[in-house]
């Protein structure tokens, strides 16, 4: 008996829910029809419209040409009149007035689409957009939206960043920390490095990220062109990066007064590599060397570090093993020598500043790798740059302001 009641309740549940869904679908259908009427050109004879090219009168060539816009209520058919001018220019005045999106998405759908495609693969985005929002778009279409919305500003030679550097009046006395590091991303023709820069006031949570995988000059220009860059000269800045020489040349041009530091963990990595080559991985001698290196880097200063490496370098090596050791430590010494002015760890520690780019390394995971380094993923050169640009933008402004920032970037690049 109880079972029968259960079935009855369940049927009631199903029926009432279906009814509610039907109401909602009716509502959506009405919304689409209403939008269709409001967005379409009024029927009846149309007047001439000034040609956007030559300002002369352009008359209707075709009435009611259909365009479909995807909205959160479903697809909306818009009928527009096609005008042609005597100068030869053809156009839809309605499209210009209404500012329809090139990908035929309403603004709220565009926001959802962009949020999905930069956080998940195109195929997963397709499934999830349907599941969460009932929006049915193919994976190819999603990829096209991503490409079309990032291309204008990610591809252009002169970068046009729109995000203001977080160095305004807030925390006016905190030093500004700039960190640069690279991340390997797989392209169709092998692995390539994408550089990521983060700019933030010490202790503040808001950061601006700039990413670049194509060329160094463009990376430099991204910071130079960022709104608020001029303020950087008036502030105390410290700059932490790995040992790539071009990064330091760039730092000299952009922020000559900034305190420079070679990322502590990169030094340790180089030290470990030399010790491993010379003494064998995990050997007592290798770990002994690493302990001494760490200690001297922090407490004794660079001269003591150079002395240590020299002590481990065999002089006039004749035996093969000694030659090998001399070579390993020789490489380390050259690396340290070329970064001689950037080894003042104690100075940084005494000021309470970080000595390693640990923060940017985790940023690499959250900003780039989470979307760009998934299993089996390969990027074309252009799409790698586009996705890195979008991910950096989103991490800088947050998901709610992301689409507006993209549209602003497109306008600025035009
Ligand atoms: Zn014309």
Residues 6+ apart with CB under 8 A from 347: 259
3-state secondary structure of 262: strand
Q: How far is the CA of 51 from the centre of ligand 1 (A)?
A: 5
Is residue 205 scored above 60 in pLDDT?
yes
The 3-state DSSP class for residue 75 equals strand
User: How far does the centroid of ligand 1 lie from the alpha carbon of residue 83, in Å?
Assistant: 10
CA of 375 from ligand 1 middle (Å) equals: 52
pLDDT in tens, 86-124: 999 999 999 999 999 999 999 999 999 999 999 999 999
Pairing of strands 90-91, 176-187: unpaired
Which one of 93, 127, 151 terminates a domain? Answer: 151
Between the CA of 82 and the centroid of ligand 1 the distance, in Å, is 13
Tell how far the Cα of 105 is from the centroid of ligand 1, in angstroms.
29
3-state secondary structure (DSSP) of residue 209 = strand
Q: How far is the CA of 77 from the centre of ligand 1 (A)?
A: 28
Two structure tokens written together for 54: 């030559």
Residue with tokens 């500043």: 353
Ligand 1 centre to CA of 61 (Å) is 14
Residue finishing a domain among 355, 370, 400: 355
Task: Report the DSSP pairing between strands 259-262 and 237-241.
Answer: parallel
Q: How many A from CA of 76 to the centre of ligand 1?
A: 30
245 domain residue, yes or no: no
Q: What is the pTM of this model?
A: 0.88
User: How far away, in angstroms, is 60 Cα from ligand 1 center?
Assistant: 13
Q: For residue 331, what are the contacts with CB-CB under 8 A and spacing of at least 6?
A: 274
In a domain, 156, yes or no: no
- Output the DSSP codes for 133-198: H-----HHHHHHHHHHHHHHHHTSSS----SPPS-SSTTTTSPEEEEEEEEEEEETTEEEEEEEEE
Ligand 1 centroid from CA 92, angstroms: 13
Distance 78 CA to ligand 1 centre (A): 24
> pLDDT category, 1, cuts 50, 70, 90?
very low
In a domain, 86, yes or no: yes
Q: Indicate the Cα dihedral angle 208, 214, 216, 221, nearest 10°.
A: -50
Residues with beta carbon < 5 A to ion ligand 1?
Answer: 51, 53-54, 85, 87, 89
- Whole-number Å distance, alpha carbon 338 to ligand 1 midpoint, is 63
pLDDT, position 307: 95
Give me ligand 1 centre to Cα 57, in Å. Answer: 7
Query: Is residue 320 domain-resident?
Result: yes
pLDDT in tens, 130-184: 999 999 999 999 999 999 999 999 998 888 899 999 887 667 788 999 999 888 9
CA of 37 to the centre of ligand 1 (A): 28
**85 CA distance to ligand 1 centroid (A)?**
5
Dump pLDDT digits (tens) for 174-204.
899 999 988 899 999 999 999 999 999 988 8
Kindly give the distance from the C-alpha atom of residue 86 to the centroid of ligand 1, in angstroms, as a whole number: 6
SS3 258: coil
Phi and psi at 355, nearest 5°, equal -110, -5
Q: Is 330 helix (H, G, I), strand (E, B) or coil?
A: helix
Going by C-alpha positions, the residue among 239, 277, 275 that lies closest to residue 255 is: 239
Distance 89 CA to ligand 1 centre (A): 5
How far is the centre of ligand 1, averaged over its atoms, from the C-alpha of 59 (Å)?
10
Range from 69-78, 211-220, 384-393 carrying the lowest mean pLDDT: 211-220
CA of 91 to the centre of ligand 1 (A): 10
The domain containing residue 344 runs over which residues?
264-355
How many structural domains is the chain composed of? 2
Q: Ligand 1 centroid to 36 CA: how many Å?
A: 29
Q: Report residue 5's pLDDT band, with 50, 70 and 90 as the boundaries.
A: low
Going from the Cα of 258 to the center of ligand 1, the distance in angstroms, rounded, reads 55
Distances (CA, A) of 70 to 102, 127, 309, 327: 11, 17, 65, 64
In a domain, 196, yes or no: no
276 within domain boundaries: yes
CA of residue 373 to ligand 1 center, whole Å? 49
Residue 253 lies inside a defined structural domain of this protein: no
Domain boundary (151, 173, 194) is at 151
- Among 1-5, 6-10, 85-89, 393-397, the minimum mean pLDDT is found in 1-5
Taking the centre of ligand 1 as the mean of its atom positions, its distance from the CA of residue 414, in whole angstroms, is 22
Q: Is residue 76 part of a domain?
A: yes
Distance, CA 159 to ligand 1 centroid (Å)? 33
Rounded CA-CA distance 207/229 in Å is 14
Q: How far apart (Å, rounded) are the C-alpha atoms in residues 177 and 354?
A: 9
Is it the case that residue 214 has pLDDT exceeding 50?
yes
Sign of CA dihedral 219, 223, 225, 226: positive
């Amino acid at each position: 008996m109880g079972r029968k009641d259960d079935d009855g309740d369940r049927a009631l549940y199903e029926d009432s829910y279906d009814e509610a869904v039907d109401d909602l679908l009716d509502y959506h259908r009405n919304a689409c029809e209403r939008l269709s009427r409001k967005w379409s050109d009024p029927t009846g004879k149309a007047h001439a419209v000034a040609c956007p090219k030559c300002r002369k009168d352009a008359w209707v060539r075709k009435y009611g040409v259909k365009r479909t816009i995807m909205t959160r209520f479903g697809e909306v058919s818009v009928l527009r009149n096609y005008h042609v001018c005597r100068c030869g220019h053809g156009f839809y005045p309605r499209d210009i007035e209404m500012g329809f999106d090139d990908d035929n998405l309403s603004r709220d759908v565009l926001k959802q689409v962009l949020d999905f495609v930069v956080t998940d693969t195109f195929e997963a985005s397709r499934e999830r957009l349907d599941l969460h929002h009932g929006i049915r778009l193919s994976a190819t279409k999603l990829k096209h939206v991503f490409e079309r919305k990032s291309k204008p500003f990610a591809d252009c030679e002169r970068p046009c960043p729109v995000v203001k550097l977080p160095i305004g009046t807030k925390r006016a006395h905190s030093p500004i920390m700039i960190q640069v590091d690279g991340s390997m991303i797989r392209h169709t023709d092998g692995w390539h490095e994408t550089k990521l820069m983060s700019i933030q006031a010490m202790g503040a949570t808001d950061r601006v990220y700039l990413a670049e995988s194509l060329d160094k000059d463009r990376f430099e220009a991204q910071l130079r062109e960022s709104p608020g860059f001029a303020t950087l000269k008036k502030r105390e800045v410290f700059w932490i990066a790995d040992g790539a020489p071009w990064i330091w040349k760039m730092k000299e041009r952009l922020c000559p007064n900034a305190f420079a530091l070679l990322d502590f963990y990169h030094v340790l990595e180089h030290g470990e590599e030399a010790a491993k080559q010379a003494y064998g991985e995990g050997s007592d001698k290798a770990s002994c060397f690493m302990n001494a290196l760490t200690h001297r880097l922090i407490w004794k200063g660079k001269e003591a570090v150079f002395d240590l490496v020299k002590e481990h370098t065999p002089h006039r090596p004749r035996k093969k093993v000694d030659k090998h050791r001399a070579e390993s430590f020789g490489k380390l010494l050259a690396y340290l020598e070329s970064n001689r002015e950037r080894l003042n760890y104690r100075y940084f520690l005494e000021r309470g500043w970080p000595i390693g780019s640990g923060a940017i390394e985790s940023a690499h995971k959250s900003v780039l790798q989470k979307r760009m380094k998934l299993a089996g993923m390969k990027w074309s050169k252009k799409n790698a740059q586009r996705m890195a640009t979008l991910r950096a933008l989103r991490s800088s402004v947050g998901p709610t302001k992301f689409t507006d920032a993209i549209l602003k970037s497109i306008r600025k690049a035009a």
